[in-house]
Amino acid sequence: MKPKVYITREVPSPGIELIREHCDVVLHEREEPPDHIEIVRNIQDKDALLCFVTDRIDKDVISAGAVLKVISTYSVGFEHIDVVEATKRGIYIGYTPGVLTEATADCTFALLLNAARRTAEADRFVRRFDWTISWSPTMFLGESVWESTIGIIGLGKIGRAVAKRAKGFNMKILYNDVTRLSPQEEKELDIKFRSFDALLRESDFVSVHVPFTKETHHLMDEKNLRLMKPSAILINTSRGPTVDGAALVKALKEKWIAGAGLDVYEKEPIEKDNPLLQLDNVVLLPHIGSATREARAKMAELAAFNLLAVLRGEPPPHWLNPEVENIRPLSEVKML
């Protein structure tokens, strides 16, 4: 009998095709995510689940999956999955780091340049036919990017990829992370470690690249936003709740900082009454950090490889919980 797989949304080729070659697939075909009850209902007889950041894979889903062996998430972030509970039950979890690094770093830079040079705001100005004076020495003055200072919070894969781009703009690159690089590595990357506060005080651009955990919840709160320069710009392509949204609105309105560029929010999609929508000094994107054709296709392929590897009784290329093998060895989940 073929393994049964539930896929909670269509993914770009070649993800589903790869899985269909070996498994019976139930696919949620609409663009909107399935609701929680639908996931719980569908998971009951499934051996594997391919899910997304929008699906809450909590204790209810995990306990409903009586024969569930593997959860493969089409994402590098995994705060939507109860990893501890899944591991306890011997369920393997795959994720997709690496393949979306460059796309997310590009998006970070798109936001940085856009917020610095106010290009989204200027685009709206042109479209509204507010452009009535052909040229003005004071029109849409922004902040310089070239030779400015960037502070990268969280020097993982994406933080490093952002640093590489910053080098192309001759920026001074500061970083803060829970682990400090060796002096040799810092030299090679041409980056300097700073305490969190010093980084906020010195940087013209502060870019957040930490995973969302209890510790990083509201990392950028009122106190920390107030440490930034009035000319500085905050960029967030990590997870919305790493920034205190209400404090950011205050910072932007009261001009403690010059601007922000956001791809992520505390509530997604953004709520109609979110005050950010009324502010011109913030660039807003709809969580599209990894949205290039190339990255999304590679994520689909990797998510499929992770899922199929477990069903073959092999270690997945990228898994979150290798310790699960002590609870249920791969030989016991092998179906293919």
- Active-site positions? 239, 268, 287
- Kindly indicate which of the ranges 72-80, 111-119, 245-253, 316-324 contains the residues binding ligand DGY, using the contact rule CB under 6 A: 72-80
Q: Does residue 275 bind ligand DGY (CB under 6 A)?
A: no
Among 72, 75, 242, 321, binds ligand DGY (CB under 6 A): 75
User: Nearest 5°: phi and psi at 128?
Assistant: -80, 0
* Cα end-to-end span (Å), the chain: 9
Tell me the closest approach of the beta carbon of residue 157 to ligand DGY, in angstroms: 12
Total residues contacting ligand DGY by CB under 6 A comes to 7
Tell me the closest approach of the beta carbon of residue 100 to ligand DGY, in angstroms: 6
Tell me the closest approach of the beta carbon of residue 151 to ligand DGY, in angstroms: 22
Residue 63 to residue 85: CA distance in whole angstroms: 9
Taking alpha carbons only, the member of 76, 60, 52 closest to residue 209 is 76
DSSP codes, 66-83: TT--EEEESSS--TTB-H
Classified as helix, coil or strand, 12 is coil
Indicate the residue among 54 and 274 with the shorter CB distance to ligand DGY: 54
- Kindly indicate which of the ranges 59-67, 73-81, 157-165, 277-285 contains the residues binding ligand DGY, using the contact rule CB under 6 A: 73-81
Among 236, 290, 306, 321, binds ligand DGY (CB under 6 A): 290
Taking alpha carbons only, the member of 95, 18, 67, 73 closest to residue 335 is 67
Q: Segment 189-228, which members bind ligand DGY (CB under 6 A)?
A: none
Taking alpha carbons only, the member of 211, 237, 105 closest to residue 162 is 105
Q: Which helix (H) or strand (E) holds 107?
A: helix 101-117
Indicate the residue among 82 and 143 with the shorter CB distance to ligand DGY: 82
Taking alpha carbons only, the member of 47, 103, 42, 37 closest to residue 75 is 103
Q: Does residue 57 bind ligand DGY (CB under 6 A)?
A: no
Indicate the residue among 252 and 303 with the shorter CB distance to ligand DGY: 303
Q: Does residue 76 bind ligand DGY (CB under 6 A)?
A: yes
Chain positions contacting ligand DGY, by CB under 6 A: 53, 75-77, 100, 289-290
